[in-house]
Structures are given as structure tokens and as C-alpha cells.
Structure 1
Amino acid sequence: MRRKQHLPQKDCAQCQRPFPWRKKWACCWNEVRYCSSGAVVVPSSQASHGDSTKFWAGMYP
């Protein structure tokens, strides 16, 4: 049995945070670049996951 601390990790291409291997990525781990679907949507200038209010502030008058 593998322990979670022994799973491979990558750095997210958008937010630069490390994220571990997931079973759903077993067949395509080499192509995975982002930690979540939220990291893909957020523009580079708003790459911080913790502060989404700035992202939404400019979208509505």
C-alpha cells in the first residue's frame, strides 16, 4: 500500500503551487499541468486561489 506522502507531485503551471498525483490522472499524469479547473480559468494576473474577489470585481458594473 502506498502512503500519500510518497505520491508524485507537480507544480501548477498557473499558480505555481505543488499538487499531488490523483487516481483520476493515472492514465494522463504526463499531460496534467494544472492543480484544478479553477487554475485554468483564472487569468495569470489573478493566479492566487485565495483571492477571487478581484477577479469577479471587474466583470460586473
Structure 2
Amino acid sequence: MPRMRKKADLPEKICEACGRPFVWRKKWRDDWDAVKTCSDRCKSDLRARRRSA
């Protein structure tokens, strides 16, 4: 039987775009170290900010 995890036990990062904390998701398991934003919206906002800077 698979081990159940509590959400509090998952790794957490701070979003570079909005500054809010977000936790690990299964879809990020292969590249968690490269994840910098909590959502696609924040990712596009961050890219737009970097382009205009």
C-alpha cells in the first residue's frame, strides 16, 4: 500500500513572480529544482517583466 503524505510534509518554495509559497506537485517531480513559479500565469507574468526590463 502506498504511503500517504500530509501536505505539510511536502517541499515548499516561494514563487518568484507573486511571492506566495507553493508546494511540490507530482507533475513537477522530474524538474522540481527548475520550478520557479507557482502557475502558468505567474510564469508568463515573470517572462513579460524580464522582457520589458
TM-score, reference length from structure 1: 0.65
Q: Which has the higher contact order (CA 8 A, sep 6+)?
A: 2
Task: Give the gaps of 5 or more residues in structure 1.
Answer: 45-61
Structure 1 counterpart of 2:5: 2
Distance, in Å, in 2 between the alignment partners of 1:39 and 1:5 is 23
Larger radius of gyration: 1
What is the count of residue pairs matched by the alignment?
Answer: 44
Distance, in Å, in 1 between the alignment partners of 2:18 and 2:33 is 18
Structure 1 counterpart of 2:19: 16
2:48 equivalent to 1:27? no
Structure 2 counterpart of 1:53: none
CA root-mean-square deviation: 1.2
Higher helix share: 2
TM-score, reference length from structure 2: 0.74
Deviation at 1:5, TM superposition (A): 1.1
Q: Percent identity?
A: 45
2:44 equivalent to 1:41? yes
